[in-house]
């Protein structure tokens, strides 16, 4: 018979609760707040582990070519993405707890920590890389991994060269069946004069969108034109962006609801990550002013740079500039309408 499960053994509390070694004590100093500092960081790392676990499971599902808007897989993806968002929200709020430590309390032990720094959180960089942040898009490329151990750099590089969540979502959007199925469009009644090489729906939509632009917004028309008929792709391809835009526009159809939630959760993930960066940089400013970080970066300047640059799903965010009033949307064919409803 197997051994009865015991709370402490199961959670390996022996290991976890003996894993807080205060550097200040090793120097004969009693810096009270160092305990809080250690526990906060450890709990962040545990949550990063959970986030990585969720991203991996989502990526595993999204890798399947048969994932579509009708499969139950999509529900699991949306559910787990939402869990990541909720965890991130909690991580943002945890900064409140650390901010009960004053700059003077921090100075009691700060110097004993050099050259260690949150910069060496390889899990954080793995979270960013798995979500889709590419090396080329990183701020401070020359040193973002300079403080890490060889095996940690290797792990990050492996992730960077594997399929990211962004790429998997891009492929899923490219497979989105709405525009490749001619049956949905043979009875579509176009409004604007047809233009060769442009799908009648997008031709109509472009007109509707442009009519709704205010005087100072006319330059936006070029952005939508690029998505509809441009040759250059960004992180998301134009084909994927067209599917995403269609989902955002027609999310009131039942079959587009989960795809909408998926996209929305990606935007929310980006927003929560950047909110965390913002709270972190403000805390850093308050804690160390203009001094350099223990990791040797320019401190708050580096963190500001990363805050500006590390949005991952900016192509999706940009689509919100190209939305038109719901009441003026092109009327879909009866065939497509019925395909977008359950049953
Ligand atoms: C007293 C509180 C804190 C201070 C003063 C502080 C300071 C800094 C500084 C100055 C940097 C820039 C790199 C360098 O060290 O030169 C940094 C990076 C970082 N810190 Fe903190 N930090 C604090 C708390 C935290 C906490 C609680 C976490 C949670 C895990 C954290 C995670 C990170 C991460 C992930 C980075 C790298 C960010 C990136 O590369 O974009 N920090 N921190």
**Residue 312's closest CA among 102, 129, 54, 125?**
129
Closest by CA to 82, choosing from 269, 256, 225, 272, is: 269
- Minimal-distance CA residue to ligand 1 atom 32: 118
Query: How close is the Cα of 248 to the center of ligand 1, in Å?
Result: 36
Instruction: Decide whether any atom of ligand 1 lies within 6 Å of the 106 Cβ.
Output: yes
Question: How far is the C-alpha of 341 from the C-alpha of 252, rounded, in Å?
Answer: 10
- Of 93, 118, 273, the one to substitute when testing ligand 1's pocket (max ligand atoms within 8 A of C-beta) is 118
Nearest to 283 by CA among 42, 33, 38, 99: 99
307 in contact with ligand 1, CB cutoff 6 A: no
Residue among 88, 60, 176, 130 at smallest CA distance from 312: 130
Q: 98 CB less than 6 Å from ligand 1?
A: yes
Name the residue at shortest CA distance from atom 40 of ligand 1: 119
Tell whether ligand 1 has an atom less than 6 A from the beta carbon of residue 39: no
134: which residues sit within 8 A by CB, 6+ positions away?
A: 160, 164, 235
Share of the chain above pLDDT 90, in %: 83
Domain ranges across the chain: 7-339
3-state secondary structure 163-218: CCHHHHHHHHHHCCCCCCCHHHCCCCCCCCCCCCCCCHHHHHHHHHHHHCCCHHHC
Q: What pTM, to 2 d.p., does this model score?
A: 0.95
What would the pLDDT profile of 120-140 be if each residue is shown by its tens digit? 999 999 999 999 999 889 998
Q: What is the mean predicted confidence (pLDDT) over 13-31?
A: 97
35-56 burial, b for 16+ CB within 10 Å, e for fewer?
A: eebbeeeeebeebbeebbebbe
Model confidence at 142: pLDDT above 80: no
Question: Measuring from atom 17 of ligand 1, which residue has the nearest CA?
Answer: 118
pLDDT digits over 65-99, tens only? Answer: 777 666 789 999 999 999 999 999 999 999 999 99
C-beta 118 within 6 A of ligand 1? yes
> Of ligand 1's atoms, which has the minimum distance to the CA of residue 298?
16
* Any ligand 1 atom below 6 A from CB of 140: no
The whole-number pLDDT of residue 69 equals 65
Residue nearest to atom 27 of ligand 1 (CA): 41
The number of angstroms, rounded, from the C-alpha of 33 to the middle of its chain's C-alpha atoms is 32
Give the pair of three-digit tokens for residue 221: 């028309």
109 lines ligand 1 (CB under 6 A): no
- Does the structural domain 7-339 have CATH classification 1.20.58.480? yes
Task: Please work out whether the CB of residue 276 comes within 6 Å of at least one atom of ligand 1.
Answer: no
Say how many Å lie between the CA of residue 180 and the centre of ligand 1.
Answer: 47
The average confidence (pLDDT) of the chain is 93
Q: How far is the CA of 117 from the centre of ligand 1 (A)?
A: 6
């Amino acid at each position: 018979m197997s051994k009865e499960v015991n709370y402490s053994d199961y959670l390996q509390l022996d290991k976890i609760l003996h894993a807080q070694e205060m550097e200040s004590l090793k120097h004969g100093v009693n810096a009270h707040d160092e305990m809080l500092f250690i526990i906060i960081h450890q709990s962040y790392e545990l949550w990063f582990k959970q986030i990585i676990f969720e991203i991996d499971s989502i990526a595993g599902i999204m890798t399947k070519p048969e994932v579509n808007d009708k499969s139950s897989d999509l529900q699991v993806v949306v559910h787990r993405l939402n869990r990541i968002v909720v965890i991130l929200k909690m991580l943002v709020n945890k900064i409140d707890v650390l901010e009960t430590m004053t700059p003077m309390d921090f100075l009691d032990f700060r110097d004993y920590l050099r050259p260690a720094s949150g910069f060496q959180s390889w899990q954080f960089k793995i979270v960013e890389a798995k979500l889709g942040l590419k090396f080329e898009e990183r701020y401070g490329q020359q040193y973002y991994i300079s403080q890490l151990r060889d095996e940690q750099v290797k792990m990050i590089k492996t992730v960077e060269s594997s399929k990211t969540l962004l790429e998997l979502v891009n492929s899923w959007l490219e497979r989105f069946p709405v525009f490749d199925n001619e049956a949905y469009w043979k009875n579509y009644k176009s409004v604007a004069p047809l233009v060769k090489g442009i799908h009648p729906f997008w031709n109509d939509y472009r007109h509707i969108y442009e009519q709704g632009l205010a005087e100072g917004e006319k330059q936006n028309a070029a952005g939508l034109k690029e998505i509809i008929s441009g040759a250059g792709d960004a992180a998301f391809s134009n084909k994927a962006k067209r599917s995403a835009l269609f989902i955002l526009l027609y999310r009131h159809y039942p079959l587009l609801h989960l795809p909408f939630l998926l996209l929305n959760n990606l935007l929310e993930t980006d927003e929560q990550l950047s909110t965390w960066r913002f709270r972190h940089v403000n805390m850093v400013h308050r804690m160390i002013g203009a001094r350099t970080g223990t990791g040797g970066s320019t401190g708050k300047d580096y963190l500001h740079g990363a805050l500006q640059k590390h949005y991952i799903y900016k192509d999706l965010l940009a689509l919100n500039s190209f939305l038109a009033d719901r009441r003026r949307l092109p009327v879909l064919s009866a065939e497509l309408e019925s395909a977008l409803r359950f049953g």
